[in-house]
Amino acid sequence: MRLVLLILLFSITSSIGLSQNTFSVSGKVMTTNNESIQNAIINTTTQVHFTNEKGEFKLDHKGLLLLKISHLGYEDVFDTLYVSENIVVNFIMTEISHDLHQVVIEEESQIHENVKTINTIEPQEIKLIPSASGVSDIFSALKTQPGVQSNTEGQKGLIVRGGNYDQITTYVDGIPVVGSSHLFGLLSMFQTDCIESVKLYNGYKPVKYGSALGPAIEINLMEAYSSSKKNTGSLKSSFISTQFQFQLKDENFYFQLGMRKSNLFLIQDLINQAANNNRSREITPIYDFSDVSFKATYLLEKQKVQFVYLNSIDGLDYNIDFVGEERKYLNTMSWGNEAASVKWNYYANGGPIVNAEVITNSYNALLYSNNRITFFDTDLNDQIWRNSISEFNNSIRNIKTTISLEKDLKNSSHFEVGLEYKHSKVNPNSFEYWEDSPLLDEEEFNGNTIVNTYSFYNEFSGSLGVNINYILGLRTSMFQYEEENEIHFNPRILVTSILNEKIKFDFYSGMSSQEIHLVTLNSFGFIPELWIAPSESNPVEKSWSTGCKLNYTGESTSFFIDTYVRGMSNLLEFSNNVDFNQSTSEIIENGITSNGQGAVVGLEISLKSGYNKFNYNVSYAYGRSSRLFDDLNQGQAFPFTFDIRNDVSMVLGYEINDRLSISSLYTHSSGRMLNVSNLVVPVGFTTPLGGAYSQWVTFNQPVNRNSYRLGNFNRLDLSISWTKKVKYGEYSFQLGAYNVTNRLNPYTAIIGNDEEGNQTIEEVGMIPILPNLTISFEWN
Amino acid sequence: MELKRYYTLLLPIVITSCNWFNPYDIPLADEKAQCVSYFLPVDSDTSVCFLSNSINIYESQQNESFDFCVKVSTQESVVISCNSMESDTAKVWIETGNLTDLIAGDTVFLEVESPEFGLLTSNTIVPESAVVIDYSLDSRSYFNGVKYFDEIDLKLSDPSNRDEAYMLQLISHIDTIGAPIPSIRNMKSDDQNMLRRNFGDKNLDNALFFSDSFWEGDGTYTFNFRTKSTADEGVPYHYTLIVHSISMDIYKFFYDLEGGDMSGYFNGGGFDIYSNIDGGYGCFGTLKSSNILLFPE
């Protein structure tokens, strides 16, 4: 795709340049060890050049120049230059560590931008990892990364390095998206066919990415051009979903449309059957999701204009009917994203690029429960059945404008500076009441809902000597809310030492701020979420992270070990005695404990290798994530909800022949923590008429918050693919299953009763085996 | 050396940004606990103390029997009684009549000992007796549109400048031959200062309890409450109103039991229930009771 882009853009620019004088572009192509690469191919679409024995090259050009540098055994290097004077530029190529077809996710080090500890995932790699839907998905691939928890069934986003899912932000062509998942984190809201590349910044995070404490995921949607008008697309359908993707391009214009709708009703009986493994209750889970993505770009000489629109909706009805009794739990959850952006790029003379963009996005999450439970009516002096209604309905709306400038400097240095303004409006809503005694007036939230953020960031990357590269960045933000002005300085640094040809050592450290809080309740049942704007008592959250990473890259094997520590402050948690019968304002005022701290330590190991047509990718992550609040757990530390101690994933792939391949994904993870800190004790009483009886009383153990760990998570996914190329495209069949063993991995727990009527904790899973048969057709 | 220099320069960035604690330093809570509920009527010769084991809701379990002893003492006297715990709750009768006379302000000590768990201790202060100034019963004087209620007025005086608390229970008696046995009655009040003990469901029948924190002026307060009139018109009946003066420990315990909303879906993981038992949970308190006979006028 990039090659097409190169060819077409170069055709445009070279045609402009023919009538004018040209300038020379010269330089050298080297390895990461500063050794010259002879006979590297410099592809400028109209011409092909080769480097000489000293690795040098020279060509003539004027205007926008798109370059692709290739050499056997090295990763391709792409670059864009605007040539208005004689330029000397050097390129450094990185050795390829794996066979092209193996099921691995490469660690990419783009030396020409300096070294970055990022994990880059290409679409062809995503496609080889089994997915819940049968259609390849970026979330499935990301969860095989160490540090990205695989145990996130039931969550709305990814959990990385001991934070909640609000701490990781997905940037889609620069648009920050919250809760970017379908099916409770099983699938992302982006079709893989629409994606050009994915980068996970879980070590060093570029300073242009703010507003979240944790890592960033950068998703770049497809963009390509053609000398003649051309359309490509795909249509894929499985038991899980049907998706359609269409691209239209010419020499200046690119258009992309992706649409997807779930098909889960096709296997509803199977889902019901799998979810009902206990005769005492009948569970009916009905899932539904859909998404749309749209992108259009237009090239005009030195300028590019881009428009992107995203929309995603998820819904779940999860009803539990207890057999033989009136007790019923009716739950409805839904969440959705809608975002749009307009972006403008200007490629100025001499190489600087000016970017300007306006983004608007919104997120809404609803949890509604109607539970029929017993209630002691003192007037009737008897137990009666009543419906308890609970509702959490939250929305976030953001408008963000950014203008930035970036430029490549001499000696492979790079400089970027930007200004950003963001306006956020957060509407938290929480209600709990009896259905037969509805709220007469749903009191409006009277706390702060608005925060304005003004940010300035600059980042500089370069080299210190021969074997050390660095990136230095500073993001300065002023958060304005109510009468408060908070100024945060968030420096970030990455230093890479190239120890020898195969071994590199990274040190990274950085700080981040997050202006919008997420408070979740990890008690029994579904997880309600409350999003809160900052206020005087709940100031902006801060975090820091420091780590070391040792990388080994051999001919067919790559390995890294990454160890890190993280600290967080100004965190929020629900208080022990939160009363959801209160209004939202009262809950936030009385039921939230603020000024909490977080501490995380972790170790991540990744091994990727292969032999002939067999490839494997094994990752392991150890983590410890704790929280500390003065007013919770008697001021002592307690485990965080996602204190996931051990997380293992293993991908195996085997290419039987050119058409047939098979792959599997196995994941094992520790369970997450539930806030079951109570002791149930029967307390004895006497009555004035001489009787005695005992009544259960639930005592909150003051130092036992988040004490219950759900069971381990184990899952095996399988996939076998058959592909045939034809002259007008490609069609394929994929047969597989998510959760082959049909093990209902615990998502949460409910209070149940054993055969003797004693209360017990019953762990409840959500996702049974999901078989898939996918039929795909792609045309080009 | 060059490398070390750079990393040394980086350390201040890390250190200055530290908000850090040891994430491994997490306290371990007991998996099992004991609960004592002992509301000692100081005017009675005997009393009953309950001891309970917590129930492990994580998994079913079998409780093994064990012996335990309860020691109640004052400055001058001690009584001890023992029993064995067979299931999750056991009670032991204690001859508290052998204690020296307890007067308001005295401290009573409690120790529960067993080889199965650590020593449980507690103490409480004997409350003042209730000072009843006046009372009255109006038969079938309140009609809610459906049913008639008897209304009761009770005027109490504050016996001291200490914090006092009270609890009311009502027993109805039908005064005919072959009448049903006396029964505990529900009470209801529009006075927001009176809390209804809903927690015990049918067994405690909405006893009303309150403290003297809201009493003003001359230190007296008139309580008004009602109970449903169940006797047919013309059938003779009367009530026994039991006015308990309770130690503040009992008041706080009952108050928390009523304050915690145990129903609803999103309970926040438990409520803090008052306990004055060191080494366990529960409540040890004393109470003084006086009976008032109420006949319809």
Residues in chain A within 8 Å Cβ distance of B267 = 523, 580
The pLDDT value recorded for residue A4 is 39
Nearest CA in chain A to B257: A697
Assigned token pair, A698? 């639930």
C-alpha span between A111 and A106 (Å, rounded): 15
**A166, A518 Cβ separation under 8 angstroms:** yes
C-alpha span between A69 and A110 (Å, rounded): 13
**A326, A385 Cβ separation under 8 angstroms:** yes
Nearest CA in chain B to A627: B23
- Closest CB to B57: pick one of A493, A687, A760: A760
Kindly list the distances between the CA atom of residue A153 and the CA atoms of A142, A187, A271, B129, in Å, as whole numbers in the listed order. 14, 10, 15, 60
Q: Nearest 5°: phi and psi at A13?
A: -70, -35
Residues in chain B within 8 Å Cβ distance of A545 = none
Out of A491-500, A578-587, B14-23, B82-91, pick the least confident.
B14-23
**Is the same domain home to A579 and A691?**
no
**Is the same domain home to A694 and A574?**
no
Assigned token pair, B157? 């005086």
Average pLDDT along chain B: 83
* A141 within some domain: no
Q: Which residues of A163-177 are buried (b: 16+ CB within 10 A; e: fewer)?
A: bbbbbbbbbbbbbbb
**A216, A168 Cβ separation under 8 angstroms:** yes
| H helix runs in A114-204, sequence order | 123-126, 138-142
* A168 within some domain: no
**Is the same domain home to A697 and A757?**
no
The pLDDT value recorded for residue A556 is 82
Say yes or no: A762 contacts chain B, CB-CB below 8 A: no
Q: Which CATH architecture has domain B131-261+287-294?
A: Sandwich (2.60)
Report CA torsion sign: A98, A103, A105, A110: positive
The pLDDT value recorded for residue B232 is 76
C-alpha span between A574 and A590 (Å, rounded): 9
Assigned token pair, A260? 């997807």
ipTM: 0.71
Average pLDDT along chain A: 83
* A127 within some domain: no
Residue A102 has pLDDT above 50, yes or no: no
DSSP A319-355: EEEETTSS-EEEEEEEEEEEEEEEEEEEE-TTS-EEE
Beta strands in A40-193 (DSSP E): 41-43, 48-50, 56-61, 63-70, 77-83, 87-93, 107-108, 118-121, 169-172, 175-177, 181-182, 187-188
The pLDDT value recorded for residue A260 is 94
The pLDDT value recorded for residue A472 is 93
> A697, A707, A709: which to substitute to probe chain B, counting the most B Cβ within 10 Å?
A697
* A761 within some domain: yes
Let me know if the fold of B34-125 is the same as that of B131-261+287-294.
Answer: yes
CB–CB contact A681 B52 (8 Å): yes
C-alpha span between B111 and B76 (Å, rounded): 16
Following CA atoms A531, A639, A708, A323 in sequence, which dihedral angle do they give, to the nearest 10 degrees?
Answer: 10
Q: How far is A472 from chain B (nearest CA, A)?
A: 11
Last residue of a domain, one of A45, A80, A96: A96
**SS3 call for A556:** coil
Residues in contact with B1: Cβ distance below 8 Å, sequence separation at least 6, in sequence order? none
| H helix runs in A658-703, sequence order | none
Per-residue pLDDT reduced to its tens digit, B192-234: 888 887 765 555 667 899 998 888 777 889 999 999 887 777 7
* A107 within some domain: no
> B21, B35, B57, B225: which to substitute to probe chain A, counting the most A Cβ within 10 Å?
B57
The pLDDT value recorded for residue A82 is 73
Q: Residue A548: which domain range? A: 209-672+710-779
Beta bridge pairs of residue A733: A722, A775
Higher pLDDT, A360 or A696: A360
Give A 458-487 residues with CB within 8 A of chain B.
464-465, 468
**SS3 call for B273:** coil
**B136, B152 Cβ separation under 8 angstroms:** yes
**Is the same domain home to A244 and A370?**
yes
**A188, A139 Cβ separation under 8 angstroms:** yes
Q: Which CATH number characterizes residue A460's domain?
A: 2.40.170.20
The DSSP 8-state label assigned to residue A185 in this structure reads T
Per-residue pLDDT reduced to its tens digit, A260-293: 999 888 888 887 887 787 777 788 888 899 999 9
The pLDDT value recorded for residue A18 is 37
**SS3 call for B167:** strand
CB–CB contact A699 B50 (8 Å): no
Assigned token pair, A253? 């214009």
C-alpha span between B167 and A68 (Å, rounded): 87
- Give the count of domains, chain A: 3
CB–CB contact B50 A511 (8 Å): no
Per-residue pLDDT reduced to its tens digit, A231-257: 999 999 988 889 999 999 888 899 999
**Is the same domain home to A636 and A774?**
yes
**Is the same domain home to A661 and A691?**
no
For B166, half-sphere exposure in the C-beta direction (CA atoms, 13 angstrom radius) is 26
Kindly list the distances between the CA atom of residue B143 and the CA atoms of A161, B149, B189, B192, in Å, as whole numbers in the listed order. 65, 6, 14, 20
Higher pLDDT, A111 or B155: B155
The DSSP 8-state label assigned to residue B201 in this structure reads H
C-alpha span between B114 and A7 (Å, rounded): 86
**Is the same domain home to A680 and A562?**
no
Residue A690 has pLDDT above 50, yes or no: yes
Out of A88-97, A343-352, A533-542, pick the least confident.
A88-97
Per-residue pLDDT reduced to its tens digit, A401-432: 999 998 877 777 889 999 999 999 999 888 77
Report CA torsion sign: A76, A77, A78, A82: negative
**Is the same domain home to A681 and A729?**
no
- Closest CB to A509: pick one of B13, B261, B268: B13
CB–CB contact B57 A761 (8 Å): yes
Say yes or no: A600 contacts chain B, CB-CB below 8 A: yes
**A632, A592 Cβ separation under 8 angstroms:** no
- Closest CB to B21: pick one of A369, A628, A698: A628
* A132 within some domain: no
**Is the same domain home to A687 and A733?**
no
Nearest CA in chain B to A678: B270
Q: How far is B60 from chain A (nearest CA, A)?
A: 7
Assigned token pair, B224? 């008004």
Q: What is the pLDDT along chain B (297 residues), one digit of tens a residue?
A: 455 555 555 555 555 555 788 888 888 776 678 889 999 998 888 889 999 887 766 555 566 788 999 999 998 899 999 999 887 788 899 998 888 888 899 999 999 999 988 999 999 999 999 999 999 999 888 888 888 899 999 999 988 888 899 999 999 998 888 888 888 888 888 888 888 877 655 556 678 999 988 887 778 899 999 998 877 777 889 999 999 999 999 999 888 877 654 443 334 345 567 889 999 888 999 999 999 999 987
Domain ranges of chain B: 34-125, 131-261+287-294
Residue A97 has pLDDT above 60, yes or no: no
Assigned token pair, A593? 């404990």
Residues in chain B within 8 Å Cβ distance of A704 = 29
**Is the same domain home to A447 and A538?**
yes
Out of A68-77, A463-472, A664-673, B182-191, pick the least confident.
A68-77
C-alpha span between B33 and A630 (Å, rounded): 25
Residues in chain A within 8 Å Cβ distance of B264 = 388, 390, 432, 580-581
Out of A65-69, A73-77, A181-185, A363-367, pick the least confident.
A73-77
Nearest CA in chain B to A600: B23
Assigned token pair, B52? 């309970």
Q: Nearest 5°: phi and psi at B15?
A: -65, -40
Average pLDDT (A684-698) is 70
Residues in chain B within 8 Å Cβ distance of A677 = 29, 269-270
- Closest CB to A509: pick one of B10, B183, B188: B10
* A749 within some domain: yes
Residues in chain A within 8 Å Cβ distance of B53 = 681
Number of residues assigned to chain B: 297
Per-residue pLDDT reduced to its tens digit, A45-61: 556 677 888 888 888 87
Higher pLDDT, A190 or B270: A190
CATH 2.60.40.10 fits B34-125, yes or no: yes
